[in-house]
Structure 1
């Protein structure tokens, strides 16, 4: 649970004092340290309750639970009647309009004609309600969100529409609450692609603002940046790299960099962007900030001790977004990722050379 009610003026003052010695000047980066995966046995990780953040509502997938009431539709054929629309046929049959379009090779704007025979693909279809997110839908059915993305061919920006019928993959059978919980584990990709609440058909997501005082309702989607950042990304902190991108000794894969820094080091935005997420829903990463930068780029900042921005806030390259911590780990460090679309990429080639 993220601690609330921090005196942000005090935090900002502390951070500004630290900036003169800890921030990364443009065009420079942290020195490389030894490549180590071994935790410090004497270090004590900061408890999750000690992570402090600006007051904010719970994430949308907690604020708007989903009922697993998907309708099972048998595969069939439908003959288009005068006045029919694809949406109307979807409402009549219970299948998703996008699924019907894919099954029949229809391209936008999905023009159909009277007398046309349409294949209605069978399956389980969930009707999306206002404020529901991909994460909440996946949790409700105990299905991985990336499987739902694949089954529905969803694409960026992954914002669901109220009234949309989403195909739920997998065999239909009753699952206990424990089984559903065991089948779903939230990760960075889930938050980036499944964290936005559904939006009414003709509504638009909220535009980002530079003010951290604006607290958006959890059920308000946020528009991502329209264009990709210009120029190179910058280092978020100065410190020693203790884990690199790629395979590690344990046989797992590191999706980013682990950079050792002192506690309460200012963490800086690597590029202009919009805050897509602030919180602590991934225990292994502790306090977490996710920025979207346009052009499919996302950066991730984990293990923070203090979170200084709000979801829906616009930030500039080099702006302080958090203070480093040891939440979710056993040493003070920053977890830093870069993603292009849904794919983690090595940050090193995309950051300035070290002096």
Structure 2
């Protein structure tokens, strides 16, 4: 009995020397996966992999662009009988819009035989069917925003097949500028995300159902009706991020609203879905809806996307489920309202709570 008691005491004493970490490791390996409690800092799989309805790749990935711009020298062209800006552009290789701007010509761009026109020199890219502004900018290694400003592009930013875009000249870049060259943001998607239209074609009309998937090469028609003066709140929750510059200097183009996971996200007004995806890393699961009067709403950090590009939505319709995807550090909704390309404080357009 004494020998057995001594042996038992030794076993207990040795077990007390096992490091606590080793004990925890053993328990974690031995515990069945289904019985393990999720750590509070672990993200649910819903937010790690944003779920969306089946859809084609983004329009800017559907048609590859060749960087085959034609170099055009600055020159003077004398207008011949029967010439038009379009025919002069075809003869010289320059863009008709660029020629009009260089010569201060206003619509309907009337020209007369014998008139001398300055032909602006530079690299001109001929737009082909299905090409997008984002894809063109990537092909030449320039920011799409520079192409927009160089060519004076305006709403609705839909390119036309046969259009000639002046490609900005490249300049020495810093490492940061080179890394940001292909960084997509909301403005890129709004102004350079639609594929080019054929000369006499029209954008596709929106569909009321998510069952019909538009091809990535089909431009979506912009609503022509005026948007409501006030929008509805997309979710109910506390505002945890205000519009404008933050404490650390970063700028918030919208507001952030704290909500539980899987909260229904509702369309703030009638409109057409212009984008669904997760190509803007900071915002994760993302829906962009275009309304009338060049107004756009943006819904980010979603965990599940419930609509399709080109789908018509009504005010209050569920378009997504909330999540903490992207750079969100909690379950929340990033919500923006843009007038044209300019973000505005959503609180100024939403009803008081």
Normalising by structure 2, we get a TM-score of: 0.84
Distance 1:351 1:111 in 2: 46
Deviation, structure 1 residue 291: 0.3
- Whether the 8 Å contact between 1:242 and 1:259 is mirrored in structure 2 is yes
Match of 2:329 in 1: 330
Write the mapping of 1:186-265 to structure 2, written as runs, cut at 5 A. Answer: 186-265=184-263
SS at match of 1:323: strand
Deviation, structure 1 residue 145: 1.2
Match of 1:57 in 2: 56
Larger CA deviation: 79-88 vs 262-271: 79-88
Match of 2:160 in 1: 161
Distance 1:115 1:280 in 2: 54
SS at match of 2:291: strand
Instruction: Write out per-residue CA displacement over residues 275-321 of structure 1, whole angstroms, 9 at most, x where no aligned residue.
Output: 00000101111100000011011000001111000000010000000
CA spacing shift, 1:60–1:181, aligned 2, 3 Å: farther
| Rg comparison, structure with higher value | 2
Match of 2:81 in 1: 82
Distance 1:210 1:353 in 2: 30
Instruction: Write out per-residue CA displacement over residues 309-354 of structure 1, whole angstroms, 9 at most, x where no aligned residue.
Output: 0000010000000000111123111010110000011001110110
Larger CA deviation: 78-87 vs 234-243: 78-87
- Whether the 8 Å contact between 1:45 and 1:330 is mirrored in structure 2 is no
- Whether the 8 Å contact between 1:139 and 1:181 is mirrored in structure 2 is no
Instruction: Write out per-residue CA displacement over residues 27-73 of structure 1, whole angstroms, 9 at most, x where no aligned residue.
Output: xxxxxxxxxxxxxx954445676211111000110111211111111
- Whether the 8 Å contact between 2:142 and 2:170 is mirrored in structure 1 is no
Distance 1:83 1:340 in 2: 41
- Whether the 8 Å contact between 2:128 and 2:161 is mirrored in structure 1 is yes
Match of 1:126 in 2: 125
Distance 1:50 1:171 in 2: 37
Structure 2: tracts of 5 or more residues without a match: 1-38
- Whether the 8 Å contact between 1:141 and 1:180 is mirrored in structure 2 is no
Distance 1:137 1:181 in 2: 17
SS at match of 1:294: coil
Count residues with an aligned counterpart: 311
RMSD: 1.9
CA spacing shift, 1:253–1:179, aligned 2, 3 Å: closer
Normalising by structure 1, we get a TM-score of: 0.84
